Structure 1
Amino acid sequence: MRYGFYLPTRGPTATRDGVLALAREGERLGLHSAMIADHIVFPVQSESEYPYTLDRKHPSGGDALETFSILGVVAGATERLRLVTSVLVLPYRNPVLTAKMVASLDVLSGGRVTLGVGVGWLKEEFEALDSPDFERRGAVSDEWIAIFKQLWTQSPASFTGEFYDYADIRCEPFPLQKPHPPIWVGGHSRAALRRTAKHADGWHPVGAIAASPLPPEEMRTHLATLKRLTGEEGRDFSALTISYKAPLYDSSVPDRDGTRRSFSGSPEEIASDIRAFAAIGVHELIFDFRSESIPASIERLQRFAAEVMPLVGRAR
């Protein structure tokens, strides 16, 4: 099993010193990857429903560091840590410029970028950014992925799509990773599974929270569906990376039915959960060690590395 962790993107811990301290400590302890979320603006009031809280409200005060800016700073301060957008909302940015930014970061980081992608949920943010039609965001995202793959592997390149066109352009250098940086699709809707099967190198759902429990038995069902869909696309399911995002809970916070939440309790209980997810085919677990302060976040990270990781094997 490999392990990843979230970096702060907003709030009082989202500073240069805070981000770098947590990133460097995660790398030192042998964790595999760092996750960077994506928001650019927040509406003062919103009717959009956030899918990962029970009240459907996003827990932000309105601030957010920009994703690629964090990636660049962390890339320059680490050597081995995978740098993962988790997830980049594809329609927010021009696809050619995004392809260039990802390729540049991959070159400058020594080939450590993983592009986690999503279609977005915050309609008001789409409108503020003058992004393509919110209702067509799935089709737009599919087209952006096709553009990325072309510009990362062909030069010169031409493209004629439903939403974007260009002709006879060079967009070099290519990424260091071949044929291109891994693309992971977030979410576990039917559309997300189909997008993964058709376009992606990995699946990156959120689970172990009240609004999105995704216990092992449900994950097993989704993985069976993903395997079938991948086969229908003529692709190799076994080549996909399965990366599951989850918080770490105190045992004092039960699940909705009163039972222990996954990844909570004693080190042995957490290790047992990790083994259960490994047994169904999850390759990487992404935990949220963020707390009210960077020292507290680092302490949680260190405790996990010292007490849990040795029970199930360190990241490689």
Structure 2
Amino acid sequence: MRIGVTVPNFGPAATADSLRAWAAVVEDAGFDFLMVGDHVAATPDVTAAYPGPFWEPLTLLGYLAGVTRRVELGTTVLVVPYREPLLTARSLAGLDQLSDGRLIVGVGVGWAGAEFAALGLDPRRRGEVTDEYLRALLALWSDDVVSFAGRHVAFTDVDARPRPHRTPHPPLWIGGNGAAARRRAARFGQAWHPLRVPAGWLRATGLPALRAAADAEGRPAPALAPRVVLHPTTEHRADGDRLVGEGRPDQIRADLDELRELGATHVLLDTHRDADAAARADHAAQRALVEDAARWLPPS
């Protein structure tokens, strides 16, 4: 089981120097991968949770690929309807090539209504658009010259090179906790990427529902690669009142042991708490928390 860290690419503390320091901490502390979030139009519903400035993730990952050598790099999660798939496929394939095959593509449908409006998109169609764009993305990664005919995107004889470094393409993680995300993960993904889930939920509800979705699609269940919080406390937290990754260090270690037992291939740790915390002018305390956790987390 590989363990990664979410790098906060938002807020006043997210300077170029700070983002470079985050990448160094993740790599030097022995973690296996890092991931960054995605917003294109930082409307008030976005900044209420993720204060600006917000760094565009694909640009940032290109930079972080150049200042790291070992860790994998990814998105948690790229909002598929926000970007036309021809550009998305080319950008991601280029990132995978330039990082020597270190890219992980976590994707989702999005949630911020005002952001959809700012981009001229209908949020009610985000699920069907995501599914079609994912089909186009996979087609563009599958051959040198590609044609595609869909309701929302169509193109003929597009030279899709350079293809991704990894074959057949970078790992595709489908983010989201609901039924539609599980169906999409079974249909398209190498992994299901649920986000900040309650303690016990994956064993009791999430994974049985994922297996049922895969059975309905006639496909094997995808891998489990959750994003969980990293919120250590000094006091014990009752399971009915906490998220996975929240509580005393021994509780967090037990959470990760359980995820390993459940078959998780990757676990992404997220230090983000709320907008007030993200609005602080310095990320040094969060990086120190990650460095400290590397000493008491179970080995990957």
TM-score past 0.5 threshold: yes
**Cα shift at 1:261:** 5.3
| Residues 35 and 84, structure 1, Cα contact 8 Å, conserved in 2 | yes
Residue 155 of structure 2 aligns with an amino acid whose one-letter code is Y
Structure 2 residue 185 is the aligned partner of structure 1 residue 196: yes
Change over 3 Å in CA distance of 1:38–1:260 after alignment to 2:
closer
State which of 224, 235, 238 in structure 1 corresponds to 2:208.
Answer: 224
Distance 1:60 1:228 in 2: 34
Q: Say which SS state the counterpart of residue 12 (structure 2) adopts.
A: coil
Q: 1:233 aligns with which of 199, 205, 217?
A: 217
TM-score if structure 1 supplies the norm length? 0.86
Gap runs ≥5 in structure 2 = none
1:227-274 deviation per Cα after TM superposition (whole angstroms, max 9, x unaligned): 23223323222xx33111122224268769885654344432321121
Q: Percent identity at matched positions?
A: 35
Which residue pairs with 2:294 in the alignment? 305
Matches of 1:130 and 1:236, distance apart in 2: 37
- The match for 1:54 is none
Give the secondary structure class of the aligned counterpart of 1:285.
strand
Distance in 2 (alpha carbons) for counterparts of 1:260 and 1:126: 31
CA deviation after TM superposition for structure 1 residue 147, in Å: 0.7
User: Residues 140-155 of structure 1 correspond to what in structure 2 (within 5 A)?
Assistant: 140-155=129-144
1:276 to 251, 258, 273: 258
Change (3 A) 1:304 1:187: same
Partner of 2:112: 122
- 1:262–1:106 CA distance, 2 compared to 1 (3 A): closer
Please give the residue correspondences for 1:78-227 in structure 2 after superposition, counting only pairs within 5 Å.
Answer: 78-131=68-121, 133-208=122-197, 213=198, 215-227=199-211
Given that 2:12 and 2:52 are in contact with CA atoms closer than 8 Å, whether structure 1 keeps it comes out as no
Partner residue of 1:16? 16
Paired residues of 1:106 and 1:181 also in contact (CA < 8 A): yes
- Secondary structure (helix, strand or coil) at the match of 1:174 reads coil
For the aligned residues, what is the CA RMSD?
2.2
Q: Is the 8 A contact 1:220 1:280 kept in 2?
A: no
* C-alpha contact (below 8 Å) 2:12/2:53 kept by paired residues: no
1:263 aligns with 2:252: no
Equivalent position SS for 1:3: strand
Tell me which residue corresponds to 1:37. 37
The amino acid across from 1:187 in the alignment is: G
Residue matched to 1:246: 228
The 3 A distance-change label for structure 1 pair 109 and 226 is same
Cα offset, 1:218, TM superposition: 4.2
Distance of 1:250 and 1:267 partners within structure 2: 6
- Structure 1 unmatched runs, 5+: 51-56
- State the distance in 2 between where 1:289 and 1:281 align: 23
Paired residues in the alignment total 293
Amino acid of the structure 2 residue aligned with 1:199 = F
Q: Please report the TM-score for the alignment, with normalisation by the length of structure 2.
A: 0.90
- 1:38–1:67: 8 Å Cα contact kept in structure 2? yes
